[in-house]
Amino acid sequence: MSAAERLSRRFFARPADVVAHALIGQVLVCGERAGIVVETEAYLGPDDKASHARFGATARTSVMFGPGGVSYVYLIYGMYDMFNIVTGRDGEGQAVLVRAAHPERGIAGGPAAAAGPGKLCRAFGISRARHHGVDLTASPELFLARGSRVARARVARGPRIGIDYAGEWAPVPLRFWLAGHPAVSRAR
């Protein structure tokens, strides 16, 4: 078997909604652990009222305004890490949140171990302390690799979760998932 093909800068340099869709079916690798991405959400930049980028570049969000292909990991609700990938070009402030994965290798806890963004980080061992601001196109530990192709018809899309405060942006369908996969969040 040939070495896994790592996703390149070019892959991540596209708009967040394009990357979020294209990430479904790709392989997330963290050390010895790996799984197939089955749910993502796109955050389009400072104008997107649901995005952390809506306040501009702050101490927390500065990496969002760097080049695509870099990780953005933050803490939510005081206890859960969220794994995001910056997309687009330098300065655009776009990112994709990886919400769920199908465990493939090295992950304890069964099929549901990476169902949900907080559980995904725990299952893969992704932490803010060690994996924030990592270049996924260069890191030997944390990166994305090309998975088997997923037919477009199998990728569903709908509104993002937990962003009711985002006004006109709340209903915009920027969440993507593998249709019918058990690890995908239930819509609210």
User: Which residues of the shown chain bind DNA in the complex (CB under 7 A)?
Assistant: 41, 43, 50-52, 55, 58-61, 74-80, 82, 84, 97, 99, 116-120, 160-163, 165, 185
For DNA, the closer of residues 12 and 65 by Cβ is 65
184 within 8 A of 100, measured Cβ to Cβ: yes
Q: How far is the CB of 149 from DNA (least distance, A)?
A: 27
Give the residue with the Cβ less far from DNA, 11 or 39. 39
CA-CA-CA-CA torsion for 53, 175, 104, 71, nearest 10 degrees? -10
Given a contact cutoff of 8 angstroms between Cβ atoms, the answer to whether 129 and 135 are in contact is: no
Distance in Å, CB of 114 to DNA, minimum = 9
Q: Compare residues 21 and 146 and give the one whose CB is closer to DNA.
A: 21
Compute the distance between CA of residue 170 and CA of residue 151 in angstroms, rounded to an integer. Answer: 27
Closer CB to DNA, 78 or 140, in the complex: 78
Q: Residue 87 carries which side chain, given as an amino acid letter?
A: T
Least distance from DNA to the Cβ atom of residue 148, Å: 25
Say if CB 31 and CB 125 are below 8 A apart. Answer: yes
CA quadruple 77, 125, 144, 174: dihedral, nearest 10: -20
